[in-house]
Amino acid sequence: MSTRKSKVKLLKNMPGVVRASIDPFLVRATNNPERIMFILHRVTGVIIVLYLFLHIYVTSNTIDSARWNSLMEQFGASIVNKIGEFIVAGAVIFHGLNGIRLLLVEFFGVGIGKPEHPKPPYIAPSLRAAQRKAIYIVAVLSVVGWIIAGILIFTGYLELPL
């Protein structure tokens, strides 16, 4: 964008998209759980996309029933599979719940407070509004949902009869 020609070499000081998406200590702003939610949302999103590819690959085996059965016998009940399912379940629960919050905030402007005249202690209205409470609700529901999913997965409740 800059049209200015200059001889000095500028230092590029950008942490980059990967670091900004996974490093919660990149910027240490106080009073900012939104950022943690942002990072979790990205990480869980990546987990879900990876799972999707794996899912497509695995289900593509259903064409051949013999192969499918042997695959299920090998991996269906293995602990690796269960841990994987557990992680994906957590990711989906969090991503879904936080996604609802983000949809409300980003598309309908819900829960970001009203403009105010600044007064001490100068905390921006959107950091005190309903979306902040929604963060705590999302966090609690995600943990509860994840625990339930864990119980279902590890007790074999969800296992398919082979």
Partner 1 sequence: MVARSKFQELLAATRQPPKEVTIRVKRYDPETGKVWYQDYKVKTFRGMTILDALLQIKEKIDHTIVMRYSCRMGVCGSCGVVVNKKPSLACQTQIAAVASEDKPIVVVEPLYNFPIIRDLVADFGDFFNKHRAIKPYIIRKDPDEVEKGEREFIMDPHDLHEIYEYSLCIMCGLCYSACPVSAGDPLYLGPQALAQAYRFIADVRDEGYEERIKIVDTEHGCHRCHFAATCSAVCPKMVDPASAIQRLRKIVFMKTLGFWKKKKITQIAGPLKEPLRQIEAKYAVENILEGVDPEEQAKREEKIDLEL
What is the DSSP secondary-structure string of 72-122? Answer: HHHHTT-HHHHHHHHHHHHHHHHHHHHHHHHHHHHHH-TTS-------TT-
Identity of the amino acid at 155: T
Tokens in use for 98?
A: 């936080």
What is the footprint of partner 1 within residues 101-120 (CB under 8 A)? Answer: 102, 105-109, 112-113, 115-118, 120
Closest CB to partner 1 among residues 72, 132: 132
Sign of CA dihedral 150, 155, 160, 162: positive
Closest CB to partner 1 among residues 109, 156: 109
138 binds partner 1, rule: CB under 8 A: no
Applying CB under 8 A, the site for partner 1 has a residue count of 55
Tokens in use for 154?
A: 């590890």
Cβ(89)–Cβ(146) under 8 Å? yes
What is the DSSP secondary-structure string of 117-162? Answer: ---TT---GGGTSHHHHHHHHHHHHHHHHHHHHHHHHHTTTTPPP-
Q: Which stretch binds partner 1 (CB under 8 A): 4-12, 47-55, 56-64, 154-162?
A: 4-12
Q: Which stretch binds partner 1 (CB under 8 A): 16-24, 47-55, 60-68, 145-153?
A: 16-24
Closest CB to partner 1 among residues 98, 142: 98
Q: How many residues in total does the chain contain?
A: 162
Work out how close the CB of 13 gets to partner 1 at its nearest, in angstroms, rounded to a whole number. 5
14 binds partner 1, rule: CB under 8 A: yes
30 binds partner 1, rule: CB under 8 A: yes
- Give residues in contact with partner 1 (CB under 8 A): 1-2, 4, 8-21, 25-35, 37-38, 41-42, 102, 105-109, 112-113, 115-118, 120-129, 132
